[in-house]
Amino acid sequence: MSTTHPALARLPALIAPGQPPTALAPMQDVTDLPFMTAIGECGAPDWFFTEYFRVTETSRLEKHILRSITENPTGRPVFAQLIGENLPALRRAATELLKHPVAAIDLNMGCPAPKVYKKNVGGGLLRDLPKVDAILGTLRDAVTTRPFTVKTRIGFEDTRSFESLLDLINKHQVDLLSLHGRTVKELYRSEVHYDYIARAAERVACPVLANGNITSAEKAAAVVTETRCAGVMIGRSAIRNPWIFRQVRERFAGQPVTRVYLREVRAYVDRLWTVTDTPGIPERARVGKMKKYLNFVGQAMDAGGAFLAAMRPTATAAELFAVCDQHMLAEPDALFADEPFAGVIARPNCETPHPGPDADEACSLDTITA
């Protein structure tokens, strides 16, 4: 499978020229330098996107996010993502970032976490297209030596402004649009509206990356065919399966897709534990961070969710690794599932409906936003 979108020439070179590009979606508190390092060892995407830099009148570039650009060992380009609504501050942050080896400046207009959109940033901007117009104009004017890109959703509560949003993408000559095929209010609960991604791919001048439920190499190929988008952006499925980008390239090339065994999954767990080690972090906090990853890994471990049920109550490293050994090394040559098992939920308190006006606030993993 190949792509011929002429505007791809303005973007960083691909691992496999001529194939649809792949990108690791930005996920707050996940796509940091350690996680990018771990993903890179399994098969890097064409492009990485950072967690978002929070931009306000008094903000400064967060050092730990900057490290994912300046110290990245993968050899792959890193797009720096901004979130904010203050025009002078966004201009200042973009200008500062351009002093570093960023591949592009990306604007977050899709984060669906209520604590974010209630501040009228991220997905909240989709309620105010005149403000979007001003922000896109400001950043396009500031970012001239590198690509300027946008990640967004198809609307806030509905899609009534979708066509107008696409007009703004064209007006400001955005170089790449990453589009999650749900509205902000749909979070992750609905089916992905790939027909809107197809409409964007047809209407905008820049390449479009399809985002949302790209769960496997086969699904990536199907979505590219269905939407005629330029490529795919993968988020939560890359936490579950860090080999997915290599597998997608194999599928696009018409080659057999590499299968993954449980012993390799167990080695991935060890690698995550190693790369996320930070001096002075209490053991319980490290275990908690590992459980954030393993909530997604567990979606492809067993159809009944037995691994997740055993893993979630653990409090110490010894308990956590004992559960991993039990479920991953009892049959080390068993295959890891290519797709998540139906009904095995990684985020049980935000992927299933909840009653009450503050239901959206209850998500314990609401910082994973892709």
pTM: 0.93
Query: Are 203 and 275 within one domain?
Result: no
* 215 to 2, 49, 66, 314: CA distances (angstroms): 20, 18, 29, 27
Domain limit, last residue, from 328, 344, 365 = 328
How confident is the model at residue 354, as a pLDDT? 36
Amino acid present at 23: A
pLDDT of residue 350 exceeding 50, the answer is no
**Residues 198 and 228 placed together within one structural domain of the fold:** yes
pLDDT confidence bin for 184, thresholds 50/70/90: very high
Residue 38 one-letter amino acid:
A
Burial 280-299 (b: 16+ CB within 10 A, else e): eeeeeebbebbbbbbbbbbb
- Say if residue 184 is in the same domain as residue 299: no
Pair 76, 118 in one domain: yes
Tallying the residues shown for the chain, one arrives at 370
Joined tokens for residue 14: 């691909």
Query: What pLDDT, on a 0 to 100 scale, did the predictor assign at position 352?
Result: 38
How many CA within 13 A on the CB side of residue 187?
21
CATH number, domain with residue 55: 3.20.20.70
Query: Is 232 within a domain?
Result: yes
Is residue 363 in a domain?
no
Query: Could you say which of 204, 225, 252 is where a domain stops?
Result: 252
Kindly state the tokens that stand for 107: 């604007």
Number of domains in the chain: 2
Tokens of 326: 């039990």
Q: Do 302 and 239 fall within a single domain?
A: no
What is the number of alpha carbons within 13 Å of residue 329 lying toward its C-beta?
A: 11
Mean of pLDDT over the chain: 92
Same domain, 162 and 282: no
Q: Are residues 275 and 221 in the same domain?
A: no
Q: What are phi and psi of 3, to 5 degrees?
A: -125, 150
Question: Is 324 an active-site residue?
Answer: no
Residues 186 and 142 in one domain: yes
In this structure, are 288 and 230 located in the same domain? no
Does the structure show a pLDDT above 80 at 368?
Answer: no
Looking at 42, 111, 324, 363, which residue is catalytic?
111
pLDDT digits (tens, 9 = 90+) for 263-314: 999 999 999 999 989 888 999 999 999 999 999 999 999 999 999 999 999 9
Last residue of a domain, one of 218, 233, 252: 252
Q: What's the pLDDT band for 13 if we cut at 50, 70, 90?
A: very high
The reported pLDDT for the residue numbered 6 is: 87
Give alpha helix (H) positions in the chain: 33-43, 63-70, 87-97, 114-117, 129-142, 162-171, 194-203, 217-227, 236-240, 244-252, 262-275, 283-297, 306-311, 317-328
pLDDT of residue 367: 46
Give the pLDDT confidence of 86-114 residue by residue, as tens digits: 999 999 999 999 999 999 999 999 999 99
- Cα dihedral sign, 301-307-309-314: negative
Are residues 232 and 318 located together in one domain of the fold? Answer: no
| Model pLDDT for residues 193-224, shown as the tens digit of each residue | 999 999 999 999 999 999 999 999 999 999 99
Asked whether residue 355 is domain-assigned, the answer is no
The separation between the first and the last C-alpha atoms of the chain, rounded to the nearest angstrom, is 25
| Mean pLDDT (whole number) for 64-77 | 97
Q: Is residue 334 part of a domain?
A: no
Task: Give dist(CA 106, CA 366) in Å, integer.
Answer: 21
- The torsion region of residue 19 among left (phi > 0), alpha (psi -120 to 50) and beta comes to beta
Range of the structural domain that residue 234 is part of: 18-252
Claim to verify: residue 73 and residue 161 sit in the same structural domain = yes
Question: Residue 296: inside a domain, yes or no?
Answer: yes
